[in-house]
């Protein structure tokens, strides 16, 4: 495992945005009216002696607690960072337990057999939240966010995050973590969706990056690249993408179609007149597929793009079979250039280019929604005997410093790592044994360094550790950082809005028909791209429109969506 790829899981926590994502992570939480009613019923019941002990400053017990993680992890509770926490700051012994197998199955089993011991950290989910509240086994947390003298980290959580978590009785049932410290200027995340060209192939065609600023220029390059050969003498694949991972979203974005949500049921954009345009109603959705169909029919798109799986696509990219890629560079496999120190493999020549200008498009569509809202929730058992230890530890982890996620993961500066020149500049490891184990690629050895609890902290756009790591060898490591920073400025990213977070109502149309809507999308994206001629494309498009209505009840879905947004807006405004 390289230093740079060590936190790719972090990207998943922040992003997770595909064409029709309906995930629960990262959006405004709250649950249904029934959930809130259950929360109200549990409010008095869970105001237990554990809470009273914390309020009274009871610190006689051991400063230790068990933390149950809602995901699979390799655990070593004697890791170097945990030793530091135990022996120095914050003076807490944190003992971890991970989840094996399906997280929801494990949660239900745990809650039905006495609950967890002290604290549980899960990715934000309405289902998890509802299950925790209904169990009656957790403490309400709202009063601890208003104790700045005792818990300054908890008191620093942006108020808008906490307000969104309150039930109808004002209770907040978890401590939010893994959020942006400054929601008005959020960290853009690991931007990875873009256009990528092999610069050696580009040079061989006699063209330059300036020639690729328009869709017409892209087309000209693809036709020229089709005449080039790879190292084995085979004709190059002009353009490819991993459709299995919805990489064609980059092409849709190029044509002005937004493809991302922030946990909502459907990608939507707000128009100048205040109305909302759904992804499949945007006329540019058709225009984008018309262009892809044209390229496919002319042999300029990999004929296997629709059916390829990840490993085969990565191998084609690594071996130099592809002249241009559209999509996510992690799908291409960043490791293929991160291990290089010079122009010894085709991957060295891969470079990103700005989104090309498509006819009639003034602004590219959003394919990544920056959601500053919390990604994780920490729940505390009403039966814990170590409430003060839990609160003090989480308070420490939520200290509002730009570098806090680094401190949460690797310990404070001066122990295992330190600044190269100045705070919030470059950093490096200063403990060679720690670094050797950390970068070994062996899960057990990595776990001996730290428990990877950055998800219990927060992050900031002011400083991001893996863009400031002072490791320049091999030189290819820097390419991933350069790519993500460049793509983050290309216009395909915007901050989440309420309409990006509209979720399916329990028992409603979206809950019923969303799976079929996704089936329709997948079925017809293939038919539209691979249509044999213009007549066949129009027939496929008309069938797509019919399937949206007949199979997925498209009109009913949009009606319910608008009603749900109004309800959500009214609730947010009190």
State the Cα–Cα distance between residues 329 and 334, nearest whole angstrom: 6
Nearest to 459 by CA among 417, 420, 414, 406: 406
CA distances 209 to 194, 480, 492, 514, Å, are: 14, 19, 19, 41
Q: How far apart are CA 223 and CA 238, in angstroms?
A: 7
pLDDT of 11 > 80? The answer is: no
What does the block give as tokens for 11?
């990207």
Distance CA 493, CA 182 (A): 17
Q: For residue 20, what pLDDT is reported?
A: 33
Predicted confidence (pLDDT) per residue in 68-105, tens digit: 999 999 999 999 999 999 999 999 999 999 998 888 89
Residue 506 banded pLDDT, cuts 50, 70, 90: confident
Q: How confident is the model at residue 574 (pLDDT cuts 50, 70, 90)?
A: low
Q: What pLDDT was estimated at residue 570?
A: 80
User: How far, in Å, CA of 338 to CA of 259, rounded?
Assistant: 29
| pLDDT for residue 125 is more than 90 | no
Q: Which of 520, 565, 572, 495 is nearest to 188 (CA)?
A: 495
Is the sign of the CA dihedral 525, 531, 534, 537 positive or negative? negative
Nearest to 270 by CA among 565, 23, 25, 518: 565
CATH architecture entry for 63-186+374-465: 3-Layer(aba) Sandwich (3.40)
- Residue 168 token pair: 């109808």
CA neighbours closer than 13 Å in the CB half-sphere of residue 290: 14
**Which pLDDT score is estimated for 103?**
85
- Each domain of the chain, given as residue ranges in start order, spans 63-186+374-465, 193-369+477-499, 504-573
**Topology given in CATH for the domain delimited by 193-369+477-499:** D-Maltodextrin-Binding Protein; domain 2 (3.40.190)
Rounded CA-CA distance 155/159 in Å is: 9
Long-range contacts of 432-440 (CB under 8 A, 24+ apart): 434/80, 438/3, 438/6, 439/1, 439/2, 439/3, 440/1
Helix (H, G, I), strand (E, B) or coil at 65: strand
| Main-chain phi, psi angles of 77, to 5 degrees | -80, 10
158: cis peptide before it, omega within 30°? no
In this structure, what is the dihedral angle of CA atoms 33, 35, 39, 41, given to the nearest 10 degrees? 80
Mean pLDDT of 191-200: 97
Question: The pTM is what?
Answer: 0.77
| Nearest alpha-carbon partner for 137 in 168, 167, 109, 116 | 116
424-438, 463-477, 519-533: the lowest-pLDDT one: 463-477
Three-state secondary structure along 513-568?
HHHHHHHHHHHHHHHHHCCCCHHHHHHHHHHHHHHHHHCCCHHHHHHHHHHHHHHH
Q: pLDDT digits over 285-311, tens only? A: 999 999 999 999 999 999 999 999 999
Yes or no: say if 32 and 365 are a contact pair by the CB < 8 Å rule. Answer: no
Residue 236: band (very low, low, confident or very high) from pLDDT cuts 50, 70, 90? very high
- Residue 44: which pLDDT band, with cuts at 50, 70 and 90? very low
**pLDDT recorded at residue 315:** 97
- Identify whether the C-beta of residue 291 lies closer than 8 Å to the C-beta of residue 215: yes
Mean pLDDT (the chain, rounded):
89
Give the 3-state secondary structure of residue 2: coil
């Amino acid at each position: 495992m390289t230093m740079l790829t060590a936190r790719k899981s972090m990207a998943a926590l922040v992003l997770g945005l595909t064409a029709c994502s309906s995930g629960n992570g990262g959006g405004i939480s709250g649950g249904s009216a029934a959930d809130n009613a259950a929360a109200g019923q549990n409010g008095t019941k869970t105001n237990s002696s554990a809470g009273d002990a914390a309020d009274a400053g009871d610190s006689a017990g051991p400063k230790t607690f068990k933390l149950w993680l809602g995901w699979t992890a390799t655990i070593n509770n004697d890791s170097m960072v945990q030793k530091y926490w135990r022996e120095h700051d914050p003076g807490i012994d944190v003992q971890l337990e991970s989840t094996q197998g399906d997280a929801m199955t494990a949660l239900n089993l745990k809650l039905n057999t006495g609950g967890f011991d002290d604290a549980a950290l899960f990715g934000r989910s309405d289902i998890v939240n509802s299950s925790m509240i209904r169990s009656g086994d957790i403490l309400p947390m709202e009063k601890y966010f208003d104790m700045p003298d005792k818990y300054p980290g908890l008191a620093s959580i942006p108020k808008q995050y906490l307000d969104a978590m309150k039930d109808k009785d004002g209770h907040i049932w978890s401590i939010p973590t893994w959020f942006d410290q400054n929601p008005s200027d959020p960290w853009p995340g690991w931007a990875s969706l873009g256009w990528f060209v092999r610069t050696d192939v580009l040079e061989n065609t006699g063209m330059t990056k300036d020639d690729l600023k328009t869709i017409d220029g892209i087309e000209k390059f693809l036709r020229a690249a089709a005449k080039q050969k790879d190292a084995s003498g085979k004709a190059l694949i002009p353009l490819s993408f991993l459709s299995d991972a919805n990489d064609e979203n980059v092409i849709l974005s190029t044509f002005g179609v937004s493809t991302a949500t922030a946990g909502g049921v459907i990608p939507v954009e707000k128009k100048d007149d205040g109305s909302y345009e759904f992804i499949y109603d945007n006329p540019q959705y058709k225009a984008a597929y018309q262009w892809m169909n044209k390229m496919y029919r002319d042999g300029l798109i990999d004929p296997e793009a629709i059916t390829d799986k990840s490993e085969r696509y990565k191998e084609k990219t690594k071996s130099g079979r592809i002249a241009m890629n559209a999509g996510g560079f992690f799908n291409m496999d960043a490791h293929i250039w991160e291990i290089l120190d010079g122009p010894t493999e085709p991957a060295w020549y891969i470079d990103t280019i700005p989104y090309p200008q498509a006819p009639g498009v003034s602004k590219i569509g959003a394919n990544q929604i920056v959601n500053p809202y919390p990604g994780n929730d920490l729940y505390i058992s009403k039966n814990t005997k170590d409430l003060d230890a839990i609160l003090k530890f989480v308070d420490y982890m939520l200290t509002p410093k730009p570098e806090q996620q680094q401190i949460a993961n690797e310990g404070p500066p001066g122990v295992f790592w330190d600044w190269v020149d100045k705070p919030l500049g470059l950093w490096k490891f200063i403990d060679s044994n720690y670094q050797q184990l950390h970068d070994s690629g062996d899960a057990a050895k990595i776990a001996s360094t730290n428990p990877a609890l950055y998800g219990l902290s927060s992050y900031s756009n002011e400083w991001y550790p893996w863009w400031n790591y002072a490791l320049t060898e091999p030189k290819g490591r820097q390419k991933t950082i350069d790519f993500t920073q460049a793509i983050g400025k290309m216009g395909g990213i915007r901050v989440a809005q309420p309409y990006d977070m509209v979720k399916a109502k329990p028992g409603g149309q979206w809950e019923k028909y969303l799976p079929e809507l996704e089936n329709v999308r997948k079925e017809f994206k293939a038919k539209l791209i691979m249509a044999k001629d213009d007549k066949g494309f129009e027939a496929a498009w008309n069938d797509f429109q019919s399937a949206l209505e007949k199979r997925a009840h498209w009109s009913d879905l949009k009606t319910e969506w608008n009603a749900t947004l109004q309800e959500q807006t009214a609730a947010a405004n009190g």
